[in-house]
Amino acid sequence: MVEQDTARRRYNRGVWVAFIAYSALLGAFITVLQTHPDAGWRYAIAPLPMVPWILTIAAYVRYYRRMDELHQRIALEAFAFAFAGTALITFTYGFLDAAGLPSINWWFVWPVMATLWIIGGFFARKRWL
């Protein structure tokens, strides 16, 4: 269990570093975009705040690899629930959009997936622990 705690601390540290880098890049991006709203290069720099999320993904993959088999199973079930649920919700709304409901911004996909990941994790932990 000590190894699990060490892995979790390393994961949390990696996520915080990525979050701080993301926040700094986001602030810089917003400032630059407001200063140069018509610049042709704004599309080239628009994804830059997302680069630190690569660190978050790498931190989670390292953490996942260090989990014991039971916790890996719980994490996988939570992801499976989130993936399938997000597909169901987004495709359903896509059909409703085609039928005339207003389009929803892509920004809503991640909160839906994150919420379903938390719900999936709750049910998986309830089942296995």
**Count of structural domains within the chain:** 2
Residue 77 shares a structural domain with residue 109 = yes
- Other beta carbons within 10 angstroms of residue 67's beta carbon come to 18
Residue 75 shares a structural domain with residue 38 = no
Taking only the tens of pLDDT, the chain with its 129 residues reads: 778 889 899 999 999 999 999 999 999 999 999 999 999 999 999 999 999 999 999 999 999 999 999 999 999 999 999 999 999 999 999 999 999 999 999 999 999 999 999 999 999 999 999
Task: Check residue 4 and give its pLDDT.
Answer: 84
Residue 6 shares a structural domain with residue 62 = yes
Residue 61 shares a structural domain with residue 84 = no
Residue 28 shares a structural domain with residue 72 = no
Task: Check residue 2 and give its pLDDT.
Answer: 76
Task: Check residue 32 and give its pLDDT.
Answer: 94
Residue 84 shares a structural domain with residue 123 = yes
Residue 63 lies in domain: 1-67
Residue 46 shares a structural domain with residue 63 = yes
Residue 62 shares a structural domain with residue 10 = yes
Query: How far apart are alpha carbons 45 and 32 in whole angstroms?
Result: 9
Q: Which residues of 71-96 are buried (b: 16+ CB within 10 A; e: fewer)?
A: beebbebbbebbeebbeebbeeeeee
pTM of the model: 0.83
Residue 49 shares a structural domain with residue 106 = no
Task: Check residue 5 and give its pLDDT.
Answer: 87
